[in-house]
Structure 1
Amino acid sequence: MSYLQVAEPITLPCGVTVKNRFVKSALSETMATDDHQPTPLFNRLYHTWAQGGAGIVITGNVMVDRSAIAEPGNVVVDDRVDFASLKQWAQAGTANNTQVWLQLNHPGKQSPKMFSKQPVAPSAIPISGPNQRAFNAPRALSTAEVEAIIQKFINAAVLAQKAGFSGVQIHGAFGYLVNQFLSRRDNQRQDQYGGTLANRMRFLMNIYQGIRAACGNRFPISLKLSLTDINLDGFTEEDFQAVVKTMAALGVDMIEVVGDDYENSQIGFSGMAHLLSQLVATPIAISGGLRHISAMEEALGRRDAQLIGMCTPMAVMPDLPNRILSAAYQPFGLPFTIGNQRLDDRLKSIIVNGYCEAQVKRIAEGKPTKVYTNPWRSVLASVQLHGINGLRTRRIQ
């Protein structure tokens, strides 16, 4: 029996009890077929994570719109999904009394050139900054198209529930479409989905309320937000807090807050997490840089959060929660720096994605993971998995 706080169960607002405080946060698998269908590889991968001890396992980036893809190998859940394969995935992921939640996303204008000749967005404002060349300029969605995308989120959640997934997560982070609607810089619409923050939240609120109406009050619905999306001219800290308070009042079951590195933050991750936990009664999960048991226990003890999210470490150590609970865990380093600031800035996402995706595929194939220290191996792994597309930017952060 463990006396750690992370071992304690927690009951969500919807009434569902989660067996412990560990959340395997979303990690893109990029293993779907060319037609964006799940494969048997997902079954072994998620069964392994379920047996690894996490209370909640959140899937990678699942698209709700077949014409809007974010990454190579994304699964799409819509009326064309292979429902039998979707059910097998859910069954594998719910082993060991595990909650498995399907993460639902639409990239908006953050659909790379390799997938979208002209992506869509709240407003026809192109991506700027160092990664702008990876994305074509978007066109603005009509009001009818906005409402059609809302329905796609709802339909995907209904399919997830019917297939046996325990819940869903709405992806509102990292500059994807939900975040684009929330941003004053990206959303300059003149209809009911733009202007005031209340209007900019309408897209997210309608997705949530539509899923709640369709899937019922006992179906967990989570929201993912990122502190790295905060900026003065688009999505301010005050906006962030207002979204958290609004969604909590509507009854969302968990809000996952992603930061830079909880244990060594440059943006005050722990302070913001603590503030949010005082603002709302909704459980807050924090994800980013948690490696040591002492930091996890401190985060729970300080009420910075009620759940502990881990992503990259569980691509290497899929049974990490079990190891912590059995006192058999030792933190480990990961090869995410080349040692050159310019190259690190340019290749960071490729290094991280390549490393994680290579390890995830090994788990899915029944092979042991590999911890290595040379980041160039991660770049090579990305090319081996996705060809030249493995070297292309997938998102702006």
Structure 2
Amino acid sequence: MTAVSDPLTLPCGVTVKNRLLKGAMSEALGTRDHAPRPELPALYARWARGGTGLLLTGNVMVDARALGEPGNVVLEDERHLADFHRWAVQGSRDGAALWMQLNHPGKQAPRGLNAGGTVAPSALPFPGGLARAFATARELTVLEIHGLTARFARSARLAKRAGFGGVQLHAAHGYLFSQFLSPRHNVRTDEYGGSLENRMRFLLETYGAVRAAVGPRFPVGVKLNSSDFVRGGFSEEESLTVVRALGRRGCDLIELSGGTYEKPMMMLGRGERGGFFADFSRRARAVAGVPVCVTGGFRDAATIRQALEEGAADLVGLGRPLVLDPEFSARVLRGEAVGSEVRPLKTGIRPLDHSGYMEIAWYEDVMRRLARGEEVGAEEAPLLALARMTAEMGAGAVFRRRRA
């Protein structure tokens, strides 16, 4: 049986010190020109001291013209490499591994955020109410797809130069890779659309380009949906096929989640015992041939230990429990019967409670306060957090946020 304190050696030869992973959460701590703000090194130093073996950054965009939300950090050239280096150094304290999550939003960006509009596999609008939040994107040409692959490779190479311990390609939650994988959003008739073999071509080609850019001894991972959980979307069986393909290519870590803006299962779950996606993760691990992480819904030490001992995953990903308690991992590792105080945030104001804005603003506010060394409890008033974030970023930025 795997213990939470056991080290894990990845296919590239790098060893992670234990089986706990800090999942990516949006920090919205980029400057006006998209450099990392000083709060990011401080925040990740705190998580590194908290004992978690592998820390994943919030999404870092590969193109300043393609932001997913206000406050995104972008790594596309050398301009801010010193700032990224400070982030890498502080997030690698006490033996932690800090990986950069690389992302492109595709059409999943608020209307008006990107001056040149958005791009996607196909020029299809989002269904229903999401069409008001996200404009219909322009379809990418094949040459543009190749250019995006090159951008991911360049950003990965720069992350390595800056001192990060690895990179992860974000192919879940409805972003660009996820849009290519989904037959609901990809109706192309060329080599990047139609069959699953074609729909996963962009992801696999980009993985190959990133691997070539960073070399065989540098960790490269992928975050993948177990399913989109919408009719006509990316299915579990298709996900297993992509898992096998990534495994054959030696992917160092496949992190499994699920859902998109249309169906945010990464936040809601389905009530499964042992985390939101643990049952699927167990199936994926049986065919992957490489380490698998499952993230979502893990709130107590017993559930984490059970997932590892029963073979659901090689690592367990934690998000909000580490915001509420940066020492949560250390307590789990010490054998404490610890549980998290993560709970739904309610203000009594229906539009706020049902929009997702409140949850995002509250956790981003807490991350800022953690970076300043403050202690924050789960009882902190949601409306005060929203007021602080609005005062800092402006109402337009706060209310043009993604829902998950």
TM range (shorter): over 0.9
Whether contact under 8 Å (1:72, 1:389) holds in the other structure is no
Instruction: Give runs of aligned pairs for residues 1-397 of structure 1, distance below 5 A.
Output: 5-79=3-77, 81-117=79-115, 118-227=117-226, 229-259=228-258, 260=265, 264-265=271-272, 269-328=277-336, 330-338=338-346, 343=351, 346-347=354-355, 349-372=356-379, 374-395=381-402
The 1:371–1:61 alpha-carbon spacing in structure 2 relative to 1, beyond 3 Å, is same
List gaps (5 residues or longer) in structure 2: 259-264
How many equivalent pairs are there? 394
Task: After TM superposition, give the deviation of residue 369 of structure 1 in Å.
Answer: 2.3
Task: After TM superposition, give the deviation of residue 228 of structure 1 in Å.
Answer: 5.2
**Structure 1 residue identity aligned to 2:373:** G
SS class of match (2:354): helix
Higher mean alpha-carbon deviation, 334-343 vs 149-158, is at 334-343
- Matched with 2:261 is none
Cα offsets for 1:271-291 (capped at 9, x unmatched): 211111112221111111101
Higher mean alpha-carbon deviation, 183-192 vs 256-265, is at 256-265
Cα offsets for 1:368-387 (capped at 9, x unmatched): 22322654445434423422
Q: Equivalent pairs: percent with the same residue? A: 38
The 1:304–1:113 alpha-carbon spacing in structure 2 relative to 1, beyond 3 Å, is same
The 1:341–1:294 alpha-carbon spacing in structure 2 relative to 1, beyond 3 Å, is farther
C-alpha separation between the residues in 2 aligned to 1:276 and 1:341?
41
C-alpha separation between the residues in 1 aligned to 2:131 and 2:332?
41
Task: After TM superposition, give the deviation of residue 109 of structure 1 in Å.
Answer: 0.4
Whether contact under 8 Å (1:70, 1:111) holds in the other structure is yes
TM-score normalised by the chain length of structure 1? 0.93
C-alpha separation between the residues in 2 aligned to 1:20 and 1:366?
25
C-alpha separation between the residues in 1 aligned to 2:135 and 2:241?
31
SS class of match (1:225): strand
TM-score normalised by the chain length of structure 2? 0.91
**Structure 1 residue identity aligned to 2:67:** I
Whether contact under 8 Å (1:55, 1:99) holds in the other structure is yes
Whether contact under 8 Å (1:47, 1:92) holds in the other structure is yes
Task: After TM superposition, give the deviation of residue 57 of structure 1 in Å.
Answer: 0.3
RMSD: 2.3
The 1:182–1:396 alpha-carbon spacing in structure 2 relative to 1, beyond 3 Å, is farther
SS class of match (1:308): strand
